[in-house]
Structure 1
């Protein structure tokens, strides 16, 4: 993203940034710097939420801000139906464990920090159900097979439709992914985020997404809270009551 923005700016081209205004306020994350620089260079900024709009206005960006909604919601709602109809989990997992949790861990802050990574795996050992764990290449490079407990089912990375189907079938999700937090929320699957902050604060509504970091006790405490969650989930991602892709396409058309 940042490479394209820099080349376009130096070439005198117009820049439109989709998912503008996201902030974790953690500048140790490579994405955070990329987002700030790209937003500062963009001519039109498509913000997925009102929170993102507020960030951009506070920073005083020069481009035109459009509250577009979230293109990922467009995709999730459409392809979750496709996944439900076309993906057979037995082809992904073999015998489907019931119930199961879904886990992904790939961020450098977790995989490159032995203490954090060990704490996450130690928490997994104490979970009282099977954890389906599609393993990112970054994670596979550092994982020790001896560190995985018998309840962890390590599988190869899966495609988009398969992942949506796994989220639909899971009792809850454990992840350090930004996108998976949203998909879990929209699909009604509780999420525990293995990070200390999130760009998607809307997912924290009614504790459907809980921030646990890499703290073993906190991860397990969040799991224990899941049965008592409020069943309501305020929706977000479609503030204009229209598909974000439609809003973006119309905004890019010449007057």
Structure 2
């Protein structure tokens, strides 16, 4: 459960965090940090070791965690017998993200591979997601800015413009959840793709319609497309899409 503004909301988010406890007759949480650069040390006493279970802080690959959308024999998403509507949380502007992506899919690319930069812009300008400041290579950071050095240049965190980095940021440093079925998807959700011959997630797109057909807007091979069109196109190639996940942000902080 996540408490925001005094209200508890369920979340399926999972990720590494660091905690500090006081250990006496019981373990009492005194601080929490989702920045992996933070260092919190537990006492080396036997009582501390006996009361605290330490888990591996390495983020779990969504494929290993079985969070990827199941595909049928033809490589298209399996649908549940009775699709359930996905939960929507207050704060993050789902329709704003989708509307921004629709209206701006034709804008100039800033990079040769601009897919995640486009998604981040939609999250920021349309969805109201706030910057997270920190060193540019940290998964906990998420920001962009322009600076002058013999001409205007764009500076950004790795999470702003790298698909795998943004996926880790949303799942392990924000309040977000995976969706089990494409029929649960709604405008403003984000799709991350992993190709068979790629070692990690390498593409992101914005969902702009409800339901299993799932219209997408992206900076990629084709800006206006659908999920099935993307899957069918690459299934004809030597490097098909092996799996994908649909992520729903649950807040802006």
- Which category describes the TM-score, using the shorter chain as reference length? under 0.3
TM (norm. structure 2) is 0.22
Q: Which has the higher helix share?
A: 1
Using the size of structure 1 for normalisation, the TM-score is 0.22
